[in-house]
């Protein structure tokens, strides 16, 4: 039996290539091609775009991205056992799928891609947050990519989209929302994956803004946010003591009560404070 795209169903691919999931590689596969096409559509119009996919595994999402019209997909996969399955997809879509066998944390992918570039991935949970932080903190902004459409465990997705005062509000929300529009676009129960993980998952779409939402020096902003949230229960006049000796006066100048806690300070206020600190 063949699937709609003319390739074998994913369960058969997994059986043929003996792809028994490895926990240490974060392997929880999506086997429903309707679902992977739906995730691919969350990335928006793919025609005319290069798409970077990290961790294609047996290729469910890869097939969705190609079927939805991506000009090219560059797929970086650490597990060499997946390569024969991915080679079958590459043969089915001539010239449109390049596979690199390696660790996405170590490979410089930008050189392999031509703009406009989108990133879409069902990320391995163990490296997902680290990759996201790297994509959000390049030396120059705008970055090499236009948008990120990424699967995370639900709690991480909530940390990315959290608003001031929410339980999940912190460094990741500020980092992401400073430079992107962010939105949870899909929720997935554990049973959507094989094997089923213990946690629920969600797909987050991040669209890069042409410039950060409010001006601020990234290093100063990062230092303030890190210090504020490292001791999130403390008042800012205490947690930010190491940032500047006269921090109380600077907080007041930024319109932030020195007795306030980081979780109640908005992105706009943090950026304002960063500008005042940088001007010292
Ligand atoms: N995209 C497939 C899907 O949706 O069914 C597989 C997703 S699975 C959650 C994560 C994939 O990332 C696995 O195929 C795993 O081998 C791969 N992987 C894990 N760590 C990686 C890394 N550092 N670099 C590249 N791929 C990695």
Ligand 1 neighbours (beta carbon < 6 A): 25-30, 54-57, 60-61, 76-79, 82, 103-105, 122, 124, 127
Q: What is the DSSP letter of 74?
A: E
Using a pLDDT cut of 70, give the percent of the chain over it: 100
Q: What is the pLDDT of residues 120-144, one digit of tens each?
A: 999 987 799 999 999 999 999 999 9
Assessment of whether the complete model's pTM goes beyond 0.75 = yes
* Closest approach atom of ligand 1 to CA 82: 14
* Closest approach atom of ligand 1 to CA 25: 19
Query: What is the residue extent of each domain of the chain?
Result: 10-208, 218-278
Question: Average pLDDT over the chain, rounded to whole?
Answer: 96
Query: Is the model's pLDDT at 111 over the cut of 90?
Result: no
Fold of 10-208: Rossmann fold (3.40.50)
Instruction: Report, as an integer, the average pLDDT of 103-111.
Output: 93
List for the chain the helix, strand, coil content (%; round to 5): 40, 20, 40
* pLDDT at 1 (0 to 100): 66
Using a pLDDT cut of 90, give the percent of the chain over it: 95
Q: What is the pLDDT of residues 145-181, one digit of tens each?
A: 999 999 999 999 999 999 999 999 999 999 999 999 9
Q: Ligand 1 centre from 104 Cα, in Å?
A: 9
Fold of 218-278: Helicase, Ruva Protein; domain 3 (1.10.8)
Domains 10-208 and 218-278 share a fold: no
Query: Is the model's pLDDT at 110 over the cut of 90?
Result: no
* pLDDT at 124 (0 to 100): 85
Query: Which of 280, 222, 219 lies closest to 254 in space, CA to CA?
Result: 280
* Closest approach atom of ligand 1 to CA 22: 16
* pLDDT at 125 (0 to 100): 79
* Cα(89)–Cα(67) distance, integer angstroms: 11
| Nearest residue by C-alpha to atom 10 in ligand 1 | 124
């Amino acid at each position: 039996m063949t699937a709609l795209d003319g390739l074998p169903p994913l369960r058969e691919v997994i059986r043929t290539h003996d792809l028994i999931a490895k926990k240490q590689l974060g392997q929880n596969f999506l086997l429903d091609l309707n679902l992977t096409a739906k995730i691919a559509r969350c990335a928006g119009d793919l025609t005319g775009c290069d798409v970077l996919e990290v961790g294609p595994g047996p290729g469910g999402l890869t097939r969705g991205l190609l079927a939805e019209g991506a000009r090219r997909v560059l797929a970086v996969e650490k597990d060499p056992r997946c390569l024969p399955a991915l080679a079958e997809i590459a043969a089915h879509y001539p010239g449109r799928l390049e596979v690199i066998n390696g660790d996405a944390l170590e490979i410089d992918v930008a050189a392999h891609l031509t703009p406009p570039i989108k990133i879409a991935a069902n990320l391995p949970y163990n490296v997902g947050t680290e990759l996201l932080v790297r994509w959000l903190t390049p030396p120059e902004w705008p970055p090499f990519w236009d948008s990120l459409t990424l699967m995370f465990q639900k709690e991480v997705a909530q940390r990315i989209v959290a608003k001031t005062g929410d339980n999940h509000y912190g460094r990741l929300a500020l980092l992401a929302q400073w430079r992107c529009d962010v939105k949870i676009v899909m929720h997935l129960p554990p049973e959507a994956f094989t094997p089923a993980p213990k946690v629920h998952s969600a797909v987050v779409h991040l669209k890069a803004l042409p410039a950060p939402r409010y001006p601020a020096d990234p290093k100063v902003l990062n230092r303030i946010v890190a210090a504020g949230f490292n001791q999130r229960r403390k008042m800012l006049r205490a947690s930010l003591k190491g940032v500047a000796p006269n921090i109380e006066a600077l907080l007041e100048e930024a319109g932030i009560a020195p007795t306030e806690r980081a979780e109640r300070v908005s992105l706009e206020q943090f950026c304002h404070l960063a500008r005042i600190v940088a001007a010292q």
